[in-house]
Copies of this chain bind each other. A is one copy, B any other.
Amino acid sequence: MNIHDLVRELREPAKSKIVLLVADGLGGLALEPGGKTELETAATPNLDAAARAGVTGLSVPVLPGITPGSGPGHLGLFGYDPLEYRIGRGILEALGINFNVGNRDVAIRGNFCTLASDGKISDRRAGRPTNEANKAAVEKLRTISIPGVELFVEPVKEHRFVLVIRGDGLGDRVNDTDPQVVGVTPLTAKGRDAASEKTAGVVNKFVAEATKVLAAQAPVNGVTLRGFATFPKIDSFEGVYGLKAAAIAVYPMYKGLARLVGMDILDPGVTLQGQIDTLKSVWDKYDFFFLHYKYTDSTGEDGNFPAKVQMIEKLDEVVPQIRALKPDVFIVTGDHSTPSKMKSHSWHPVPTLLVAENARPDGVTTFGEEACLRGGLGQFQAMHLMLLAMAHAGRLGKYGA
């Protein structure tokens, strides 16, 4: 049985509130044998208190050994099987720049390139233009119009932009036009079904027009397109869980992932305290709050162990403000591990705690990787966390009589 169908069948109305605090890339590794991880090193009196009050465990984002990107990592936490729901590269790129992509759209990653006089690519990244040159070229592309569809062109940075084609009956089974090598012309787009043929037709016209409008912009005088992706067919979060949900995130990618499942996207500004203030200000309006904290991941990606420790401590400081709101369920976890030792996302299970009236405590007294190994949630699949959240929130009835 599909888990979402099960939830729809069992869910019960309640007034309870759930806070899901995602510390991106929370899990880590010790730098030396016998050492402590970033989370174990950090002074986290408030997270430790929460671990004592509740139940802990380790979240496996996808499967043992599988390192997720942000997309699969968050889909899992939102209760969607990350192996079933795949988000295309173009859609992720559009989400990442906060473009409000929808279900009539095909989103595409664009690269500016340099075309020689014979039409062959001489530089696949157009000499890595400045962001200003990128914006100027994007303005030129915005002058293109093609009957029957709406076009949106958005700058990303350097040579990268996003193209969104909005219309009816557009498919995404279209080959990349980027040949991945220089000295050849960009590839012609072809669709692998009728709907994708329609997209390919639009794309080929767009590319031809782009070459004209960019003619005077050399070395930014051509485009290649890849990662064609339609908006994924995905159940809305509220439709599945019956939870009115707010996303309180600073970075566009995470706002975008929350938008993907239909959460309301709030604008908390750029600080953690701004996020907490936003949480307080909308507390009465929602059932579910997704708070996203980026800096545990970015410091891990930088390989900066002490900075990651510091960012964890900074997060710990705001925990009392969240708990003071008395959420019925308070969860702290991560979408994946980002050990500063590895300077990258990793497959390691993610420390997780859940505080609720009927959580069964497990004797774990600190929040850390090794401590959570003895936690009452065990090692669980991330996609099951929402079931635990719903149950502890008194929102899931009995299955069967």
* 1/0 contact string of A33-44 vs chain B (CB within 8 Å): 110010000000
Chain B: minimal CB distance from A398 (Å): 5
Q: A360-B29, A378-B379 are in contact. Are A65 and B346 (CB under 8 A)?
A: no
B361 contacts A34, C-beta separation under 8 Å: yes
Q: A358: which B residues are within 8 A, CB to CB?
A: 29, 339, 341-342, 346
A401 contacts B64, C-beta separation under 8 Å: no
Q: A158: which B residues are within 8 A, CB to CB?
A: none
Question: In the bound complex, what is the Cα–Cα distance between A391 and B391 (angstroms)?
Answer: 33
The stretch that binds B, out of A118-126, A135-143, A313-321, A382-390, is: A382-390
- Which residue in chain B gives the minimum CB-CB distance to A81? B1
A6 contacts B400, C-beta separation under 8 Å: no
- Which residue in chain B gives the minimum CB-CB distance to A378? B379
- A30: Cβ under 8 A from any B Cβ: yes
Chain B: minimal CB distance from A56 (Å): 10
Question: In the bound complex, what is the Cα–Cα distance between A361 and B53 (angstroms)?
Answer: 26
- A70: Cβ under 8 A from any B Cβ: yes
* 1/0 contact string of A1-18 vs chain B (CB within 8 Å): 101001000100000000
- A269: Cβ under 8 A from any B Cβ: no
Residues of A bordering B, CB below 8 Å: 1, 3, 6, 10, 29-30, 33-34, 37, 53, 58, 62-73, 82-84, 86-87, 89, 92, 339, 341-342, 344-349, 358, 360-363, 369-370, 373-380, 384-392, 396-401
